[in-house]
Chains A and B, each alone.
Chain A
Amino acid sequence: MLWAPREATQGNIQRIFYLHVPLAIVALGGFVAGGWFGLQHLRTGDRGHDLKSYVAIHMSLIFGVAALITGSIWARGEWGHWWLWDEPTLVSFLIVFLLYATYQPLRFSIEDPERQARYAAVFAVVAGVFVPLNFMAVRTATEKTHPKTLTAGGMPAEVWITFLVGLVAMTLLFVTLWKYEMAAKHTRFEIKRLRRRLTGERGPAAGRSAAPQVTA
């Protein structure tokens, strides 16, 4: 990020671009991946896919918050406003984010774990399709004041390389965190199972949770 050339008109604030855009792209990719895993769950009925879908959407929500915050800082630095409505990318990202923010409440309000998994998968599939649809509609609606950072061309090679490195790094970060979270979830289920066996308890674990319960 420091290596890339300083942007002539925006100054150093432009360097946030290498964080913000990869964050947003990876978050959207994660939402779509969540939809894909949801579809797999619906097809196979395998609860592991539901867990994958849940973790992907959960992580994407966190990345989405980071993308909204960095985008807001960048907008403040560049245009002098924290928020601009005439920016299709920003607005559609917010809509998608608001939609996915209901994912956790939805899961939480369904008690039966199997139904929870199935309904969440239906949600993930519909929302995954909605993401591109929404971008299309909002993009048509607003004037083109947003910098078409990736398609407009005119970015020097150093910028491109830094951006691509940032994108790859962010994707790897997402995948790594996703794997860690998956491992953590599996470990937690395993511990729960072993503890139940040790104490000789029978019956379902107490407490309601938005997270999928996979019994190994």
Chain B
Amino acid sequence: MPLLEFTSKGIYCKQANVYLDPWRGVDKALISHGHSDHARWGSKRYITEQTNVPIIQHRLGNITVSGKKYNETFSINGVQFSFHPAGHVPGSSQIRAEYKGEVWVFTGDYKTQADGISTPFEPVHCHTFITESTFGLPVFQWEDPKKTHESINQWWAVNQAKKTTSLLMGYSLGKVQRLLKHLDPSIGKIYTHGATEHMTEVLRQFIDFPQTERITRDTTKKEIEGNLVLAPPAVMGSAWMKKLGRVSTGYASGWMAFRGARRRRAVDRAFVLSDHADWSGLLSAIKATGCENVITTHGYIELFAQYLNEQGWNARTQKTQYASETEEIVTAE
């Protein structure tokens, strides 16, 4: 009997009778991070890293949840569990499970680059590593994010000189705050869409961010002209966007590495910036665990597993209900 198994409700530890990031309601759920494909509604009790507690409370409403520190070990029916930094978004963890000397780690989502807002990824030794592989193809190789942030600020400054408003879009939890953290407030004011502002507000208790102002019905075009607006991707082409006046649109995502994806998005500027590990990030993370077995869960799982097998790991794939194969989930909140 494997320590963790894949069931119709999610990743299950039979010995402890708990689920990891289940996609149906269960009695007890250990949650890796706050994105909606990992932290789902409907379970009776949630356990997660403490920074993630207010995040999932904000997303899931009135739930019963307890918080743990990173690296703090707790025992459920003889199984030792602990949360370890995954570097994906604030409050994101890898979940370690140990029973009778056997160690499994489930990564949830992770990246090995430091982003300035999440606790940086820490490799955890294990026998079996259940890893995401969203960008598990060698064509994905991220730039130094410093460069990306510089080009974002340059883009903003150029737009400002042309009295054009910069509309910068990214996922509401994680991406938007990462963008915000590295914006240069000396260029102008930073406005936000309601959906992103709520989450940023939740995270302000842990992280220092530049000042932001939420766009309301009373905000005028004149007021925001030349400034920067942060919003979720769902606003693209909406009535809300039209009210901003003349904008240059920017979108930050790992998928923007592909020309085809950039053109489909039809934004004025695409920035390649991802909260997932790139090809070398995935490989270095796997090496650092010292594991023998790898299970790839989402993304280009088959190709990645095949490559790992050729490189000497015992790798297999597992279909899950985490974010889909083609493009980052974009939820309008």
> Is B truly associated with A?
no
Which residues of A are in contact with B by a Cβ distance under 8 Å? none
Chain B residues in contact with chain A, CB under 8 A? none
